[in-house]
């Protein structure tokens, strides 16, 4: 029987989602299983790794049933997960405590200690200027080391959500080049592991707790063990291929695999991930991360903390009007929202300012303005924030040639057009919105031998839906408003300095 299907798993914050795909990238079926997050203290966020494992078994079983394919026709399985969801395991792979998931901010004080090492590996944090994110592996490990020393000493393994699942699927402990490059301060420029940083923090034992073996995306980890085969109801020995962090695997699911291309992932927040032929580090950007997605290429990262969440706030605050109504009202207005400008920093700024204390601004209001003005101004302000990130990337040497967009913004033609017009760039949209799951499926297909490399696989499995072209005249009309938006940050930072 010819094998012609692959499984892509996307382990998210609230649920684990499994998709079965054919080798043209068409999804046959999906299945999702949720799991809880516990918040024992404000700013903390924990999950039980056993819940991930149970969700994996249930979702894979259901997806294969829904797809109505023979298990013998499946080539392989690959998964992506949230990044920096850190687990401490005993020698048998059992968790010693709940996982500190990516949004857990308890290690904020430890980030200052990490930055104070002045280690070469800090280049990926705005060329050493920082700050270092509390999401990342080393600050979280340092928190455990300093606050739960018995757990740290008893842990034989400290790894990621993804590493934990792959260990239980195959019996092999490995790390993904993607996760460790983007969140563990791993890089060839300082010899790979951030050994000197870890040692200067006094926890050299951590180096022996991390996985020894590092695999590139799509490389085989191993085959399903007997126990995993029973748990997933898939053939024993089925190849499990290496994945990575959800958003970065989403780049592959969007076909962003060439230099000069950028994945633009929208939702409650925005993420901007580009591929460069050259390594570079600079103020206002994260990265670049070597070999994190495609061997020989470097990933540059930018992000906006609150975007779609700002639109949700406006909708709730203004009486829970439907998005359709708000879009219609906003579409009647000229670019610039008749002078209303919104700075979208409602939850701080990630890049280029990297200022968690920055706040949202609504300026230019008069008694003439109505809710449509506020909604359009928010759409435009978010687009201005994106353009500032793209401008910062360009100023650091990254030439953006193509942008592929996915996520919540695709549901608003107005928002898409505003983004295209403000940045004066065409936006490509693909047919499969589940980019991380498709990206994992593509890696499963490559690692199982269906394609020779990631590039050839994306050309077959990622299908373009449409392209949103910018309007040059509208772009020019936005320039004055964009310059005013740029001035807001420093003005408000100075005005709020005493608070």
pLDDT digits (tens, 9 = 90+) for 40-62: 998 889 999 999 999 999 999 99
Residues 175 and 230 in one domain: yes
Report if residue 451 sits inside a domain. no
Do 236 and 372 sit in the same domain of this protein?
Answer: no
pLDDT > 70 in the chain, percent? 100
Of 201, 222, 244, which marks where a domain is finished?
Answer: 244
Specify whether 486 is located in the same domain as 371: yes
Least confident among 125-134, 195-204, 258-267, 289-298:
125-134
Read off the pTM.
Answer: 0.92
In this structure, the answer to whether residues 238 and 272 fall within a common structural domain is no
The total number of structural domains that make up the chain: 2
Domain hosting residue 129, numbered range: 5-244
Same domain, 286 and 388: yes
**Which among 355, 382, 313, 326 has a CA at the least distance from the CA of 492?**
355
Give a yes or no: residue 452 inside a domain. no
Whether pLDDT at 294 is above 90: yes
Q: Quick one: pLDDT at residue 350?
A: 87
* Domain finish residue from 244, 276, 299: 244
278 and 413 share a domain?
A: yes
pLDDT at 2: 74
One domain, residues 175 and 295: no
Q: Are residues 325 and 208 in the same domain?
A: no
If asked whether residues 174 and 291 sit together in one domain, one would say no
Q: Give the side-chain half-sphere CA count within 13 A for 251.
A: 31
Minimal CA–CA distance to 175: which of 219, 116, 114? Answer: 219
225: domain CATH number?
3.30.420.40
- Mean per-residue pLDDT, 221-234: 98
The answer to whether residue 250 sits within a structural domain is: no
pLDDT at 157 over 70: yes
The tokens for 382 are: 């978010």
Q: Looking at residues 307-311, what average pLDDT do you find?
A: 92
- Whether 59 and 152 map to the same domain: the answer is yes
Same-domain pairing of 112 and 227:
yes
Would 456 be classed as within a structural domain? no
Asked, for residue 491, whether it belongs to a domain, the answer is: yes
Are 267 and 240 found together in one domain? no
Q: Is residue 458 part of a domain?
A: no
Residue 444 lies in a domain: no
Decide if 463 is inside a domain: no
The pLDDT tens digits for 230-289 are 999 999 999 999 999 999 999 999 999 999 999 999 988 899 999 999 999 999 999 999
d(CA 286, CA 293): 15
Q: To the nearest whole percent, how much of the chain has pLDDT over 90?
A: 89
How does residue 355 score in pLDDT terms, banded at 50, 70 and 90? confident
Confidence of residue 356 (pLDDT cuts 50, 70, 90): confident
Q: Last residue of some domain: 244, 274, 301?
A: 244
Sign, Cα dihedral of 348, 349, 355, 356: positive
Q: Given this model, what pLDDT does residue 168 score?
A: 98
């Amino acid at each position: 029987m010819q094998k012609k299907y692959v499984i892509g798993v996307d382990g998210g914050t609230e649920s684990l989602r499994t998709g079965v795909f054919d080798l043209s990238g068409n999804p046959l079926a999906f299945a999702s299983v949720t799991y809880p997050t516990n918040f024992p203290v404000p700013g903390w966020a924990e999950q039980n790794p056993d819940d991930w494992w149970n969700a994996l078994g249930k979702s894979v079983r259901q997806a294969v049933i829904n797809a109505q394919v023979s298990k013998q026709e499946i080539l392989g399985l690959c998964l992506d997960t949230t990044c920096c969801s850190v687990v401490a395991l005993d020698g048998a792979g059992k968790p010693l405590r709940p996982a500190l998931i990516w949004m857990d901010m308890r290690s904020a004080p430890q980030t200052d200690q990490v930055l104070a090492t002045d280690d070469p590996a800090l280049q990926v944090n705005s060329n050493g200027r920082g700050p270092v994110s509390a999401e990342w592996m080393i600050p979280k490990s340092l928190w455990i080391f300093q606050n739960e020393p018995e757990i740290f000493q008893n842990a034989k393994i400290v790894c990621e959500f993804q590493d934990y699942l792959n260990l239980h699927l195959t019996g092999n402990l490995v790390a993904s080049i993607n996760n460790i490059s983007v969140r563990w301060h791993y890089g060839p420029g300082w010899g790979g592991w951030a050994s000197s940083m870890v040692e200067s923090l006094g926890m050299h034992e951590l180096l022996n707790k991390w996985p020894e073996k590092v695999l590139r995306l799509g490389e085989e980890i191993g085959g399903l063990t007997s126990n995993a085969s029973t748990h997933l109801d898939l053939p024993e020995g089925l190849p499990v291929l290496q994945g990575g962090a959800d958003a970065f695997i989403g780049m592959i699911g969007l076909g962003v695999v060439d230099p000069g291309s950028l994945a633009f992932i929208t939702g409650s927040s925005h993420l901007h991930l580009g591929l460069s032929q050259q390594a570079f580090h600079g103020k206002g950007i994260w990265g670049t991360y070597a070999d994190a997605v495609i061997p020989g290429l470097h990933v540059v990262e930018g992000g906006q903390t609150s975007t779609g969440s700002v639109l949700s706030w406006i909708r709730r605050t203004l009486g829970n009007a439907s998005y359709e109504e708000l879009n219609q009202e906003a579409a009647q207005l000229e670019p610039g929202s008749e002078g209303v400008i919104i700075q979208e920093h409602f939850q701080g700024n990630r890049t280029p300012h990297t200022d968690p204390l920055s706040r949202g601004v609504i300026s230019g209001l008069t008694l003439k303005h109505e809710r449509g003005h506020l909604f359009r101004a928010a759409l435009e302000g978010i687009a201005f924030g994106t353009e500032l990130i793209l401008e910062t990337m360009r100023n650091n040497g990254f030439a953006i040639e193509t942008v592929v967009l996915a996520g919540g913004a695709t549901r608003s033609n107005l928002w898409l057009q505003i983004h295209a017009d403000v940045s004066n760039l065409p936006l490509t949209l693909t047919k499969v919105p589940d980019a991380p799951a498709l990206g994992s499926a593509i890696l499963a297909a490559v690692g199982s031998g269906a394609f020779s490399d990631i590039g050839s696989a994306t050309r077959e499995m990622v299908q373009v839906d449409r392209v949103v072209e910018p309007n040059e005249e509208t772009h020019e009309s936005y320039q004055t408003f964009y310059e005013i938006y740029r001035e807001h940050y420093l003005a408000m930072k100075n005005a709020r300095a005493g608070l």
